Structure 1
Amino acid sequence: MLSTTIWFIVGLTALIGGAELLVRSSSSLAVRYGISKLIVGLTVVSFGTSAPELGVSIQAGFSGNTDLLLGNIVGSNISNTLLILGIAALILPLKVNVKLIRIDVPVMIGVTILLYFFALSGVIYFWESLILVILLVVYLIFLIRENKHSDVEADIEKLPTSTPVLIITGIIGLLMLVFGARWLVDSAVIFAEMAGISELVIGLTVVSIGTSLPEIVTAVIAAVKGERDIAVGNVVGSNILNILVVLGVTGLIIPTSIPVQPSLVRFDLLILIAASFACLPIFFTRHRIDRFEGFVFLIMYIAYVLYLFLYSTDHDLLGAYSNTMIFFVLPLVAVTILSIFWREWKRRRRFYLAAKHRNEEADS
């Protein structure tokens, strides 16, 4: 048990550290050879926080641990939305960029629903992964065109200026990513076997939180520093890339299709869709996530993890807990979110009518 825990921690550390080295060295090389910082920021740096999920998913796919693969992706997106935004908003109310509401959040909801429809057949096929990668290319092209006149730059720290050193650094980062993913996946499988818990549940919880650490750190630091729009943008962008990049690329390169557990379709993906939709009215209200809304997100995540624990252990309280969640908690959360949206819509309508009335009086 102790050795497995040590290898899990070593694997997770190597995974995150390797992703950091690979992204920073690749970014510096790209800028050095004339690729604009904007393009680098929208591609290499944006993929950085999704690199741990990609490494784990590819390793799990080639090892035949496909439940861990999908559990990692879905669990990471759930933890990104509910856990990370909840914690960050409790630290400081988060500002939401208008472009994020208009473009990226609908894209996040759209690709999440698309994943659900792909999963309904019980298998993610090669051609479905290809569609995800094509959508990724379209999304990146759109972002580049949308931001071509902006002042966005990649956040690249200075590394050694020698090209050979940058190449070596990138290779070291890649090796750390590969071996870290292998150690993490192998340890997670052992944990699942020892605890009698399915690989899917391990992927949805322990592994997904571990691979989401870059997003957690980024969001918390951004909130503490007052750069609140960065915290939200990082989460939404990571959710999109986890589906389009991690699942899309993994599905293209592993030798088999990806089977989908029925429980993932019946419950976890529905939770992810609900969490994604919950962002829209909350983000829409005053373009911010208040502490109360962050608290609601965090409670939803705790309730979700508790359900997974009861489900995996076949606990006697599972039936009562499920009924309470389905018939009381979830409707209460839905009513709360809708009431927030309704109050904001009425406030904006009153503002619009008052402005219209003033304009009519001025014209007369």
Structure 2
Amino acid sequence: MADFFFYGTLRHVPLLQLVLGRAQGALTVSAATLADHGVFRLGDEPFPHFASVPGAVATGILLHDVSEDEANRLRFYEGGFAYRLREVSVRAETGDMVPALVFYPDTVDQATERAWSLPDWERDWAEISLCAAAEAMAWYGRKSAEEMTLAFPGMRRRASALVAGRKRQADPDRDLSRDVRVAAHHHPYTKFFSMQEIDVQVRQYDGGMSDVLNRAAILVGEAAVVLPYDPRRDCVLLIEQFRAPVFMTGDPAPWVWEPVAGLLEPGEPPEVAARREALEEAGLAFGRLEPVGGMYSSTGSSTEYLHLFVGLADLAGNVTGTGGTDEGEDIRSKVISYDALMQGIDAGAYKDMPLVTTALWLARHRGRLRGTA
């Protein structure tokens, strides 16, 4: 059995327990330090970056008696972040120098002046990281660490959405701990999105519990949707792109007109995501964002939660859609009058639910927006 030294997020004991698969309180850890190394932040990234710094000391913990299976679980988890094991000598809390295994990044970053803080990370990111790690470790033994490298950004987005969902208002008439019983949780698929299943019993309206039901959902994350509107010119901007799900259902017109939209990055406020996506997809900068509401896009099949906005913008001249080149997006845009938009909705020309929803909200508030333009 080997000893491991951790200097970053795995110093957070609940995360370490989850990755190892150990029961609560079953860890044997002690304080330790690694000479000539530092743990830093780069930019706005919340995660630690390891650097070789002569004279510096990296503080961490020493995990004792790690079994071979636990070591493999650690390799699987850290391998997803392109970390590899290296043997070093660390100073134990007794003052003795002892051998330990440390996960090093493939590329050791240069030091910055900003030290990474475990308490700050625990305050802002621990809950999201625990949710993401739970999904990741459900794939241990079924996927490689390299496959997890590609899947983990989506897991973090879904984890952030899960944490946000937990903070929404509870149903005052129901107690989830009493009224919903989950017998099993399955993870049959994960990539950009995730498909998960549960075997569940739910309290019925007659007071009894249902039979065990198998239910599935596509786990997506949260998204920001914004319909650009120019109140002076009384026109909106729409974007069009190919939508694979529409094609896969057999629809002969899979190029769909929509508002600007995109998934929230972990910890990103919806308003920030809306402005970012508008710049990326249409080259637009909004003056004011008008909140339309928050809602699930399809409660029977998807976890996607939409933050809807109407964004006030100057739509004069040519507006060119570009899309995110790293996501394979191919987008075109057009500016149409408000009257043309509503005529198209009445004629059933638009099949995107967020577009119809934001347009109907605009119909209710158009007078106010034009009056304050």
TM-score, length of structure 2 as denominator length: 0.23
Q: Give the structure with the higher percent strand.
A: 2
TM-score, length of structure 1 as denominator length: 0.24
Higher relative contact order (CA 8 A, sep 6+): 1
Q: Give the structure with the higher percent helix.
A: 1
